[in-house]
Amino acid sequence: MATSAKILSGPVTQFGSDVRAGLCGTGPKELPSKYLYDQLGSALFEVITLLPEYGLTRADERLLRRHAKEIARLVPGPVLVSELGSGSGRKTRWILSALCQREPVSYYPIEISRAALALCESELGDVGCAGIVGVEREYLDGLREVAALRPDGVRLLVLFLGSTIGNFDSGADARFLSEVRGVLAPGDSLLLGADLVQPVERMLQAYDDPLGVTAAFNLNLLGRINRELDGAFDLRQFEHVARFNQATCSIEMHLRSKRRQVVPVRRCGFAATFAAGETVWTESSHKYTRREIAKLAVSCGFRPEAQWVDQEWPFAENLLLAV
Ligand code: TRP
């Protein structure tokens, strides 16, 4: 067909090849969760953070707000701040302004989502930083770039908030933290947010809210494939599923095909076949214990300096020193 030949000649992006790899193999299907955050996905995630059932972000923010001065005291200056996955930047305000009261501080948010970087720059424009420089890169590439910019005698404070660490596969969290540590020098620090274990029902509600916002957020990934890769997903033929995996202590998010279907993704020149009930795994969110975080930190070359836990929602902010 002339039309599809024309479409096929378009360049296949990284997104396209990741989608093909995730949907075409013989094993369980999966899509990388980083692609959830296009402009619509980022906006939906902002709504998730307002849901009564999803207390994680508010707990993170409360801890940062309440302990910003203490954290600033524990991180000796002069310091350059970088953040892995800044999101909207709202949570970062408190710690940045506490640090900026002491001395001028530059802030380098690292994000693959341009929409999130733009949000973050406008949200934090009034904090009074010496400068905000958005870095549109993957976490480690961005961090290496930022570390290379560091002037002599300036320490790095890396923020990794919101429990994104829990979204790595088991074992990959330690590998990632070790890589972060490898970019840092002794005396640098990492402020790590981690969501803690709580009763299963409460964890499930946080990832399957009755309003359906989380479902919309997850399904938007298929919508994004339609928009950017000329896919033909009928979003009504898939449903959001959240389940707790006891063995890995994580909430798993999937998209389940309601029936057998074949879905062309024209821009990539393939069609994905789904059996009735077949699922596409999009993300897992591991829940930690307090001791587990400390052990993890030590095994990756950090010394736990302080840990703060929220009273309303079990979430821990951890200040780790590179040793
Ligand atoms: N990474 C976040 C978390 O684990 C984001 C998130 C919230 C999410 N709800 C989701 C990711 C649903 C995928 C599907 O909490």
Q: pLDDT tens digits, residue range 239-285?
A: 999 999 999 999 999 999 999 999 999 999 999 999 999 999 999 99
- Phi, psi of 126, rounded to the nearest 5 degrees: -100, 5
**Choice among 79-83, 117-121, 236-240 with the minimum mean pLDDT:** 117-121
57-72: buried (b, 16+ CB within 10 Å) or exposed (e) per residue? bbbbbbbbeebbeebb
Name the residue with the closest Cα to ligand 1, atom 11: 283
Q: How far is the CA of 117 from the centre of ligand 1 (A)?
A: 19
* Strand arrangement, sheet containing 238-245: 29-30, 279-286, 250-257, 238-245
Are residues 297 and 303 in contact, defined by beta-carbon separation less than 8 angstroms? yes
Q: State whether the beta carbon of 221 lies less than 6 angstroms from ligand 1.
A: no
Of the candidates 155, 91, 163, 156, the one whose C-alpha atom is nearest the C-alpha of residue 127 is 91
Check pocket membership of 285 for ligand 1, CB cut-off 6 A: yes
Which of 66, 131, 51, 60 has its CA nearest to residue 90?
A: 60
- Taking the complete model, does pTM exceed 0.85, yes or no? yes
Hey, what are 97's tokens? 């302004």
pLDDT mean over 109-138: 85
Average pLDDT, whole number, for the chain? 93
For ligand 1, the distance from its centroid to the CA atom of residue 291, given in whole angstroms, is 23
Residue 312 neighbours by CB distance under 10 Å? 9
Mean pLDDT in residue range 200-211: 98
User: Is 265 near ligand 1, meaning CB less than 6 Å away?
Assistant: no
What's the angle, vertex CA 139, arms to CA 36 and CA 152, rounded to 5? 155
Contact 194, 316 (CB under 8 A): yes
Task: Pick 75 or 128 by higher pLDDT.
Answer: 75
> Which residue's CA is the closest to the ligand 1 atom numbered 15?
285
Q: Whose CA is nearest to atom 9 of ligand 1?
A: 207
Give 76's DSSP letter: -
Q: By alpha-carbon position, which residue is closest to atom 7 of ligand 1?
A: 207
* Best probe residue, ligand 1, of 112, 217, 239, 256 (max atoms within 8 Å of C-beta): 217
Q: What is the pLDDT of residues 171-182, one digit of tens each?
A: 999 999 999 999
Q: Are 162 and 145 in contact (CB under 8 A)?
A: no
Residue 224 has pLDDT above 90, yes or no: yes
47-56, 86-95, 209-218: lowest mean pLDDT where?
86-95
